[in-house]
Structure 1
Amino acid sequence: MPSKSSARLAALTVAAVCSAASTVALTSPAHAASVRIHDIQGTTRTSPYAGQKVTDVPGIVTGVRTYGSSKGFWIQDPTPDADPATSEGVFVFTSSTPTVAVGDSVTVAGTVSEYVPGGASTGNQSVTEIGKPTVTVVSSGNAVPAPTVIDSRSVPAAYTPAGDTAAAGSINALTLRPAAYALDYYESLEGMNVQVSDTRVTTATDPYAELWVTVKPRENRTARGGSLYGSYDAQNTGRIQIQSLGATADFPVANVGDTLAGTTAGPFDYNSYGGYTVVANTLGTLRGGGLQRETTRKQARDELAVATYNVENLDPSDATFAAHASAIVNNLKSPDIVSLEEIQDNDGATDDGVVDASVTVNKLIDAIVAAGGPRYDWRSIDPVNDQDGGEPGGNIRQVFLFNPERVSFTDRAGGDSTTAVGVTKVHGKAQLTASPGRVEPADSAWSASRKPLAGEFVFRGRTVFVIANHLNSKGGDQGLTAQYQPPTRSSETQRHAQATLVNAFVKDILAVQKNADVIALGDMNDFEFSDTAKLLEGDGELWSAIKSLPRNERYTYDYQGNEQVLDQILISPDIRRDCFAYDSVHINSEFSDQISDHDPQVLRFRP
């Protein structure tokens, strides 16, 4: 923060530069008489003064941002109006390091704009700002306006109003109702000094010194202290992101279930990485909740254990092999079959045409042996270079690991990256035309996405069909705090087409052999209640086994304060009718030192 010096008494004029974002298109600037901040903010999400020049806007500096591409400071009017819909704070965008300090009383002249973090294509809400400012420091050392307390009593239970159909579903022009809707309440505080107290962490600290808390401790609480995202209609209204306005070196390294005790306070911002955020100049004290990584039980002698595990872009240069191996051996208890997602080729993200992943896989197998586990065998099919999405050059794919002392793989020639596997009938039983094989790899549904890997396994004389999946990601979907409500989930179109193909393939197997044991598993990139899951399940061909868990234990991923399901193991009717056990083994998603952003899943049953 700048020192208090006479330099701050001079007027400051700087040019506004908005990188990696956009500003709402406006008409040529007009001039407005002296106005207050609440006039500029208005009663909707966009300012009635947008595009106009304003002068002599008074306020007290509550926070200064000296880093990143959005340098500037927040001011707040110490004399608020009586309308709860109008914010009393606003961000002044300077583009260069500001020379004001917290506690300065200033007047600002500049142009009001609506800045969209991340760009208009994201669908994000805009932030009202004053740009191209001329700043006059009137006095220093003033008391900062007392922070508005955000807590379980102040945040409404309803999440958001529906968007205006005449405006493509946007909520921007709707009059704010802060007593009725959580998003309206948060918007009414945009730019103001706010505080939360004694909040529970619901998403662990990430590498960017961010974490998420809830101000509603009882809202959809999971068994381990998070907040469950259980349906599109049951939003967690109390979740808020916390960042630091000062040095990030002292930012708390927290896990889910920890507490930020005492007061966390600072300007209330909106960004492209999750929406409403306390940019804290005062951070609470971290109190650990004692969260421990889970361990599942060992499968019985006559139980087949099948797992899915997204190892997050694993390549030979990574330092996580020993940790992944320990997780498989000690936390998952060495499943008989492990479907791995995001195995990269032998030189990782180097985009040089290499697609072979034998170095990556064998390094993991060796690490598993070193950790005391079995020497797994493996099967996979190399993708066509740069055709399966993921990190460019990485050529991620699914891989089957299997313990040859417990289960055998049925090798049947003919499977390659572009040939579709089929189903035939042999001696009254279903059989794959190739094993391993890929499901409809030439179909447009798999464009720039991973193709499912199918294989036949035999356990105690019984054939089990396993289909490893990594469906299209949610990239490009609008965020939960978008200006469009409900948000558009554009990624579903491709994922639904993929789910339909997977279900059709399972249906082909069951049409030949009604009692076949079929498992479709992997990173489905969608929730157990989603239409993607319904399409995978079809008319009962499959069933997502995570639904056998208590509701507050159904999660495999933690994103922006919401614990949710992305990874699933779906089972055919014959498996579902028998006795099976399912476990979502929480070893990653809730922890700041995670080795993957996904938790593995384990299914145990008797074929």
Structure 2
Amino acid sequence: MTATGAAGAFVLTPLPQAFAAPSGGAVIAEAYGGGGNSGATLTRDFIELGNAGGTAVDLSGYSVQYLPGSPSATSRWSVTRITGSIAAGGRYLIAEAQGTGGTTALPTPDASGSIAMSGTSGTVALVAGTDELNCRTAADCATDERIVDLVGFGTAAVRETSPVPGASNTASVARAASLADTDDNSADLTAGTPTPVNTKGETPGTGGGGGEEPGDPGTPGAVRVHDIQGTTRRSPLTGESVTNVPGIVIGVRAGGSRGFWIQDTQADADPRTSEALFVHTGSAVPTVKIGDSVLVSGKVAEYAPSSTTQSITQISGPKTSVLSSGNAVPAPVVLGPANLPDDYTPEAGGGSIEALPLQPALYALDFLEATEGMRVQVGDARVVGATTEYDEVYVTAKPEENPSVRGGTVYLGYDGQNSGRVKIESLGPEIPEANVGDTLSGATTGPLDYDSYGGYTLMATELGSHVSGGLEREVTRPQRDKELAIATYNVENLDALDPQEKFDRLAEGVAVNLAAPDVVALEEIQDDNGATDDGTVSSEQTLTRFTDAIVAAGGPRYSWRYVAPENKADGGEPGGNIRQVFLYNEERLKFTDRAAADASAATEVVATHKGARLSVSPGRIDPASDAWKNSRKPLVGEFTFHGEQVFVIANHFASKGGDAPMHGKFQEPSRSSEEQRHKQAEEVREFVSELLAADPKAKVVVLGDINDFQFSKTTEIMTGGGSLLTPLVNTLPVEERYTYVFEGNSQTLDQTLVSPSVVAYDYDIVHLNAEFADQASDHDPQVVRIDVKKGRK
């Protein structure tokens, strides 16, 4: 990919016409992932940049990044920041992870990182910026203007046109001496003997390199683990080489980020300094075992899973000597109310907390950081977040902390984090399929790791026995004859190509668990061919299959109304064209069809001598507003039940994607996604205000996936400070206020709000998905039953 954005393609997707690039000359000249592997001569992986231009290229603020060749939905780009410049016609060498093999060091690198690249398949990117890329496909990466150049090798899914074949433990992929870039990796680069060159023109054997050799392999060095960990979140020795650091192996990870944890048996007296850390072996599978007494030499590094997370202190490029085996491992730190403070984290005015001295007696995140890498334990731990598809489960080490009515932990405010939540993954024992309220009976023990999803993670070498809590899916009561039942349900990207099992389970949720409401506002109904991106926007086939399945489950024959979105204009899964839909039971109520709305038509409030009506029904609220850019537009409908008019507004606000994690380095974390939801809340509030201005006694129900909490500013804006709409979730006991479970927090994202004239109602969140490992959707539905004859005088 040229920095000037010349015409080219990833596979069949045209490249954008402009990129944020340092100059027209910066390209990836060579990439090698076999360093230190079996058969390799070089001890380290490397990425080499070249400058084909006539002037120097300033690399300040840039990075190189790496993605596995076959990325999954959870694969992350690894990042190495770079500085300095490349002279005209020159080269720039970045050293990456060191393996356990090889005999020849790289020449002195111009920058160093710890990325463990595959020797055979992967993608390397030169990026104008240091934030982690988030694309996972060639098409998505083609639209990211931060990417200056990109090389995919082996069978890499992300590449320019075609990947470079032939990479191996003994072969790099390199551009021709001219550094020509035609945006076809297979044409521009070839495999051959690695030839790393730094800015001085040095090559292996001609200058630099070598590095520090370990001392006597049987004698511990002067540096201990607690010296490396230090008293803040980042090591005071970052970037320095250390020799013969002693410790006992307490855990080994052979897959994913490979390596092992060591813990020093001679602790210091400072509670801020952890006595353990991770040793990252790169692509090499660790050969040590739990109980080995080892000495480790290598470079101290801080690995941050993303630009907003905390980092992990580790030793990279290690050389390890095993002194003895079968040693007792250090006793675990037992996590619980006695040592996990209620206050979650210090604040830094939205800035980074990395440099702040740790205060483990005051803040839970500080305590966990001061225990990073060490053996920890939870006992008889109650599950507060069901087992995920990635074999992770959340438990609480503080069982009395904000318990939900069904065994979870309720999230009730930005200033009230649940500090007892701990994610558990496994280093061996099988993670059971556990639901909220189940228990891992006995001890669950292992090293304390950290990642961008969920934060601090107990990597279990020993797992408690799974004991079921007997959690059952809720079934609400049927509405009475004169009650209008209105429900909302996010059905998680339902489309006509989904398996029948998904339709059947969601249909049972409507027909049985929700007791066949009169109106169901659905979110995330996709077009008829789902993620296939061919311009299809109709959902007729999807809705036919769904309503047929509801009938088969014992429910009524629902009719439906929706406004098809413009192609690719409403966000969600690319190609899916999600939208809100009204299902309604014509045997119980009538839908008022008025005019024929299209995606661009705005529904207006019309004042009449009989009250308010809609100019278009079904319709959308101001779809041209910037508030709805790349987001779902609210669906508005007018219904009549027992002679009473009811307005229903179905919503699916912008997602929380992009917000900084609660456990991250920025405190208070940035919630940048709120800006659009605040605008959306203002649009809905204004529309409801117009309805009530035309008819102060109008019955209005606003509901859907608001993607924000009941205590959020989004909700406050939408309700008009409480004078315009009442959020019904706040009428429930606090232990029942949740529709979704995320990272062990039972929280409210879906809401139902009603206007002042809706005074007689019965509201129920029906818990049938979010707390279960086996889910039909990740959201719980909810229903409100309204006595429409009460409230109008």
Report the TM-score range of the alignment, normalised by the length of the smaller protein.
over 0.9
> Which one of the candidate residues 274, 282, 303 is aligned to 2:454?
274
Residue in structure 1 matched with residue 269 of structure 2 by the alignment: 82
Question: What is the one-letter code of the residue matched to 2:474?
Answer: E
1:234/1:24 CA distance change after superposition, 3 Å: farther
Bigger Cα displacement from structure 2, 358-367 vs 424-433? 424-433
**Counterpart in the other structure of 1:115:** 303
Q: Greater relative contact order: 1 or 2 (C-alpha under 8 angstroms, separation 6 or more)? A: 1
The structural deviation recorded for 1:34 is: 3.4
Q: Which of 288, 293, 301 matches 2:468?
A: 288
Is contact 2:82–2:111 with CA below 8 Å preserved after alignment?
no
Q: Does 1:311 align with 2:491?
A: yes
Instruction: Give the C-alpha shift of residue 159 in structure 1.
Output: 1.1
Question: Of the two, which has the highest radius of gyration?
Answer: 2
Hey, what's the Cα distance between the residues in 2 that align with 1:486 and 1:24? 25
Contact 1:23 1:115 in 2 (8 A): no
Query: Does the 8 Å contact 1:28/1:51 carry over to 2?
Result: no
Give the corresponding residue for 1:589.
770
CA distance in 2, matches of 1:376, 1:332: 14
Using the TM superposition, give the Cα deviation of residue 18 of structure 1 relative to its aligned residue in structure 2, in angstroms: 6.6
How far off is 1:144 after superposition? 1.4
In the other structure, the counterpart of 2:282 is 95
The answer on whether the counterparts of 1:23 and 1:113 sit within 8 Å (CA) in structure 2 is no
**Is the alpha carbon distance of 1:24 and 1:38 closer, same or farther for their aligned partners in structure 2, counting shifts above 3 Å?**
farther
Contact 1:24 1:116 in 2 (8 A): no
Letter in 2 for 1:89: A
How much does 1:454 deviate?
0.4
2:780 corresponds to: 599
**Displacement after TM superposition at 1:532 (Å):** 0.4
Q: Is the 8 A contact 1:469 1:522 kept in 2?
A: yes
Q: Which residue of 2 aligns with 1:471?
A: 653
Q: Deviation of residue 563 (structure 1)?
A: 0.2
How far off its partner does 1:341 sit? 0.3
- TM-score normalised by structure 2 residue count: 0.72
1:15 Cα offset (Å): 5.1
Q: Which residue of 2 aligns with 1:513?
A: 695
SS of residue matched to 2:757: helix
The offset of 1:25, in angstroms, is: 7.1
1:37 aligns with 2:225: yes
Q: d(CA) in 2 for partners of 1:181 and 1:173? A: 15
Structure 1 residue 414: Cα displacement: 3.6
Q: How far apart are the structure 1 equivalents of 2:66 and 2:455? A: 18
RMSD after superposition: 1.8
The change in CA–CA distance for 1:234 and 1:153 in structure 2 (over 3 A counts) is same
Which deviations, in whole Å up to 9, do the C-alpha atoms of 1:240-270 show, x marking residues without a partner? 00001126xx311100000000010111000
Other-structure match for 1:3: none
1:22 positional shift: 3.2
Query: Residue in 1 aligned with 2:379?
Result: 197
How far does the alpha carbon of each residue in 1:280-335 deviate from its partner, in whole angstroms, 9 at most, with x for none? 11111001111111111111100000000000001122231111111111110000
Percentage of pairs with the same residue: 55
TM-score by length of 1: 0.94
Alpha-carbon offset, residue 24 of structure 1: 7.0
1:188 to 354, 367, 370: 370
Q: Does 1:154 align with 2:339?
A: yes
Structure 1 position 158, deviation (Å): 1.3
Match for residue 65 of structure 1? 253
Report the residue type matching 1:488 in the other structure.
Answer: S
The reply to whether residue 497 of structure 1 matches residue 679 of structure 2 is yes
- SS of 1:365's partner is helix
Q: Which residue of 1 aligns with 2:711?
A: 529
Check whether the contact 2:701–2:753 (CA below 8 A) recurs between aligned residues. Answer: yes
What SS does the aligned partner of 2:735 have? Answer: helix
Instruction: Quote the Cα distance in structure 1 between the aligned partners of 2:267 and 2:233.
Output: 18
- What's the offset of the Cα at 1:14? 6.1
- 1:574 is paired with a residue whose SS is coil
User: Deviations along 1:557-589, whole A, 9 cap, x unmatched?
Assistant: 0000100000001100000xx221100000000
Deviation by residue 1:136-160 (Cα, 9 ceiling, x = unmatched): 1222222111211112211112111
* Greater helix share, structure number: 1
- Contact (CA 8 Å) 1:241, 1:276: kept in 2 or not? yes
Is contact 1:13-1:135 (8 Å) kept? no
Contact 1:545–1:569 under 8 Å retained in 2: yes
Matched, 1:459 2:641: yes
Q: Corresponding residue for 2:236?
A: 48
Residue 74 of structure 1 aligns to which amino acid in structure 2? Answer: W
Q: Equivalent of 2:599, from 414, 417, 433?
A: 417
State whether structure 2 residue 22 is matched by structure 1 residue 22.
no
AA of the residue aligned to 1:605 = I
Q: SS at the partner of 2:703?
A: strand
Aligned residue for 2:49?
A: none
Instruction: Name segments (4+ residues, structure 1) moved above 2 Å.
Output: 12-19, 21-34
What is the distance in 1 between the residues matched to 2:260 and 2:672?
35
In structure 2, what is the Cα distance between the partners aligned to 1:132 and 1:256? 40
- State whether residues 583 and 602 of structure 1, in contact with CA within 8 Å, keep that contact through their aligned partners in structure 2: yes
Distance 1:600 1:253 in 2: 23
Among 393, 398, 405, the alignment partner of 1:216 is 398
Partner secondary structure for residue 353 of structure 2:
coil
SS state at 1:330 partner: helix
SS of aligned partner of 1:48 = coil
Q: Measure the CA separation in 2 of the matches of 1:124 and 1:277.
A: 14
Inter-partner Cα distance in structure 2 for 1:91 and 1:262: 26
C-alpha deviation, 1:60, in angstroms: 1.0
AA aligned to 2:537 is: V
The alignment partner of 2:282 has SS state of coil
Question: 1:13 Cα shift?
Answer: 6.5
Equivalent in the alignment of 1:256 = 436
Q: Gapped runs of 5+ residues in structure 1? A: 1-11
Per-residue deviation, residues 530-566 of structure 1 (Å, max 9, x unmatched): 0000011015111111111111101000000100000
The aligned residue for residue 567 of structure 1 is 750
Does the Cα contact within 8 Å between 2:608 and 2:694 map onto a contact in 1? no
Distance 2:236 2:418 in 1: 31
Kindly provide the amino acid, as one letter, of the partner of residue 227 in structure 2. D
Tell me what 1:366 maps to. Answer: 548
Q: How many Å separate the matches in 2 of 1:116 and 1:236?
A: 23
**Number of aligned residue pairs:** 585
